[in-house]
Chains A and B, each alone.
Chain A
Amino acid sequence: MKAYLEGSQAIAKVVALCRPGVISAYPITPQTHIPETLAQMVAEGELKAEFVNVESEHSAASCCLGASATGVRAYTSTSSQGLLYMLEVLFNIAGLRLPLVLTCANRAVSAPINIWNDYQDAITLRDSGWIQFYAETIQEAVDLHIQGYRLSEDIRVLLPVMVNVDGYILTHGYEVVDIPEQELVDKFLPPYQLKYKLDPDNPLTLGVLAGPDYYMETRFAIQKTMEDVLEIIPEISGEFFEVFARKSGGLIEGYFLKDAEKVIVAMGSVCGTIKEAIDGLRDKKEKVGLLKIITYRPFPEEEIYQALKNAREIAVLEKAISLGGFGPLYTEIKSVFQGKKENPKISGFVIGLGGRDITKDSIRSVSDRLSGKQVDCEFIDLNLKGEHKDNLLGGSGVASQFIEQE
């Protein structure tokens, strides 16, 4: 059914269609509308689930862990500080091989505290064993939740899935969304079945101590599973198309890639802006294309290579940075070409941190700069005017060097 919905409401509706038995979340902007909507659905009896009002994100994740281990589908959502507060539990869920879907309404990380969108929160979890999807639109976010549960619970997978949706831009934006029928979701997503679970009829010990003789194999197994997931995601996305008649999900998506000489690589809602900018550039006969990464973990190296190998100049645009290093996505895109005969110029651009507006001009300036010299880590749309005093930097002096005084 098509409806004009706020992103959070759409996500809540689709989560409900996935029939979670236990929902546990903690308020943090911009994620909060999702659990609020779910709480209302439970209160109205529209959704049969236990809604557990926990005292922290650490407990929200732990509560979902316990429910999932007991054989009940669980759901949680969070943002930013909440995700970081969960971090220890999230590594644990992946290590325990427990299925779970978490929505991360992506938001910058403090300090300074900032409630607006970037990817520093989720990117920080990239080594945790979670599968990570990044949605471009509300519709895609909706679809990725259904696919996320299916993937996470697949006996070949048993890893948690994080669906990343841009805070505010997608969580608070409105869009006409196709919310699938319950029947179809039920057809696509079978009831939750867990082979190894907490059950007095078959008592198992979960969460053991594994010493040097055993630990490493558990990591190896997750790594191998992640490799398989690269094949399972397209399979599931294909089945999704068969059931819902909508192409959605997958590993990557290309936009005007075929003959593109310059390619911008990005994730999430900014891809919409990039597509528009590309339309404009194409009108001027500029051969620019977009590679959108939908699945960031596992990292679809081969697909990215195939998509980018004909490009001469590549710009990686990302809303996160490994401070002291580079943009994490940039580093990985560069690694794709290691040992390959193609040697495109790859530049890294940090953009839109803490909700800094990304305009078509921002994208055009990146595209223009691609013809210039290669850069590793260029910040786009910085404002270094004098009104930004260095008191935000603890008087470290680093800023004053850059700040243009009046």
Chain B
Amino acid sequence: MYKPLLSPGHTACAGCGQALAARLVVDVAGPQVIIANNTGCLEVFSTAYPESSWEVPWIHSLFENAAAVASGIESALKYLGKADQINVLAQAGDGGTADIGLQALSGMWERGHNILSICYDNEAYMNTGVQRSGLTPLDTNTTTTPVGKFSWGNIRPKKNMLEIALAHGLPYVASASVAYPRDIQRKVKKALAIRGPKYLHIFSPCPLGWRHEPELTYAVAKLAVETGFFPLLEFEDGKLSNVFKLKEIKPVEEYLKLQGRFRHLLSPEAKEELKRIQEMVNFNIEKYGILAK
């Protein structure tokens, strides 16, 4: 009988993309794993004492240090001669990965630890109530980048974490989405078969923060891919080795319109902004060759 390693009964919101993704990841990693987790929604909803959803050894220390804690775990396993039997995962949200935890992550990557780092990207600080992060897209309405008379929301585009990872010379860097569970599983498996530091960036909708219906999590995640907004990529030894190609690319508006955080972009006055976003998406479509010939 299937027994998930991230058990149900935790307190994640209905439709939480991160909860889905985290279960997929740990199930593939299997029981011979140790996980270090940054502070964030995942940590909070899965480990409220006296309960825990984790069926594998799991540690949370702080918001920004899972990568460094994982480095210590992996070094300890090496010392114990168990490094070959046990995989180490360092996981965090987008804030824990791309902002406050980036330094520790960079250090861990550069030192070459045999660790898979996972970013569950829900594009804002959700645990503290939907504040922007460095991975919040352009023009997103968050509580710290509110839309107003003089504001379209977040003033900068999402930073490119994959390229930051690639700049560290990682042997494996990939993006994935909860809309494609099999793809997540395949990528985790592949990553864990490679020695050294690996990075997997998983697009994980947050119904509460993105303001869409919980049952739309898959649909929203799928549209992010189908519009080219969030490309699914794989890099091996620094080279783009796999792109999830699309026969037809939908206009970005179809993705945006399902979510309250982008609602302000649908007004006639927002035309120029919408155009900017579509142009950015087009740039990525071109850059990564997303359109199937």
Contacts and interface: CB of A to CB of B under 8 A. Distances in A.
B107 A56 contact: yes
B61 A92 contact: yes
B123 to A, nearest CB: 23
Nearest to B54: A205
Contacts of B33: 200
Contact of B60 (A64, A70, A207): A207
A206 interface: yes
A252 B67 CA distance: 40
A92 B63 CA distance: 11
Interface string B49-69: 110101111111110110111
A89 B71 contact: no
Contact of A67 (B61, B72, B86): B72
Contacts of B143: none
Given A58-B104, A198-B73, A214 B49 contact: yes
Contact of A70 (B34, B44, B47): B34
Nearest to A56: B103
B32 interface: yes
Interface string A190-207: 000000011110111111
B254 interface: no
Contacts of A54: 68, 71, 107, 111
Contacts of B278: none
Nearest to A55: B107
Interface residues of B, number: 46
A21 B80 CA distance: 8
Given A62-B62, A88-B62, A24 B72 contact: yes
B275 to A, nearest CB: 41
B31 interface: yes
Interface in A197-231: 197-200, 202-211, 214
B111 A62 contact: no
Given A56-B104, A72-B79, A209 B61 contact: no
A158 to B, nearest CB: 16
Contacts of B76: 21-22, 50, 66-67, 70-72, 74
B71 A199 contact: no
A37 interface: no
Interface of B: 31-34, 36-37, 43-44, 47-50, 52, 54-62, 64-65, 67-80, 86, 103-104, 106-108, 110-111
6 contacts: A55-B110, A63-B71, A71-B76, A198-B73, A206-B58, A207-B47
